[in-house]
Amino acid sequence: MTGGVGLPDSGRDRAILAVRWILGLQCLMSGLNWWFKILPFPNIAEPLVLPMKSEIVATMIKSGWMFTAAKCIETGLAISLLTNRFTVLMLVVAFPVLMMTFLLDTIPFLLGIPKWIVGDMTGRNMWAAFLDMLFFGGSVFFMQIYLMLEWVNRYVPMFVARPDDARPAVTFEWLRT
């Protein structure tokens, strides 16, 4: 994987490293923002009277633990990606959190399209929803999918039908052709 001085030696290895670092930094900033206000998103110190993009987020925050748990998972994924430790495991653990982030950014955008077409939503708000979906939800989710596909063979042992089976019920060799 590495050539010479610990640097990746192939384009694929460099792409994995770049995606790991970009996703890791994004998750670190987003996760830490819950405790230390560094981004223009809700954090633990703010009242719930501010506008939220989703009632689901407000409900998770009101629960007192659910949003904090999601941010702990996101921060754990960031540390894992940046240190390259337990990364394959943390991508599975964080999958529901990052998928929900993707959906919470995509659904408002998709629901806004008809409003924009009929003139009930400004082009500026539609553009903001598009950028939110693309850069926050979409890019994070697709970077995670990319890494999981790159390491798909690490997940194959989890696909045994019963714990005592020696061989997985499915393989993903078709992804490598």
State residue 118's pLDDT score: 93
Whether pLDDT at 66 is above 80: yes
**CB 94 within 8 Å of CB 70:** no
Q: What pLDDT digit, counting tens, does each position of 105-144 carry?
A: 888 888 889 999 999 988 888 888 888 888 878 889 999 9
Whether pLDDT at 146 is above 70: yes
Higher confidence at residue 98 or residue 164?
Answer: 98
| Mean pLDDT (whole number) for 59-75 | 84
State residue 6's pLDDT score: 59
Question: CA 137 to CA 130: how far, in whole Å?
Answer: 10
Least confident residue range of 10-14, 46-50, 77-81, 172-176: 46-50
3-class SS letters over the chain? CEECCCEECCHHHHHHHHHHHHHHHHHHHHHHCCCCCCCCCCCCCCCCCCCCCCHHHHHHHHCCCHHHHHHHHHHHHHHHHHHCCCHHHHHHHHHHHHHHHHHHHHHHHHHHHHHHHHCCCCHHHHHHHHHHHHHHHHHHHHHHHHHHHHCHHHHHHHHCCCCCCCCCCCCCHHHHC
Q: Which residues fall within 8 angstroms of residue 93, CB to CB, at 6 or more apart?
A: 73, 76, 77
Q: What pLDDT digit, counting tens, does each position of 1-53 carry?
A: 545 555 667 888 999 999 999 999 999 988 888 788 776 666 565 555 555 56
Domain residue spans of the chain = 2-176
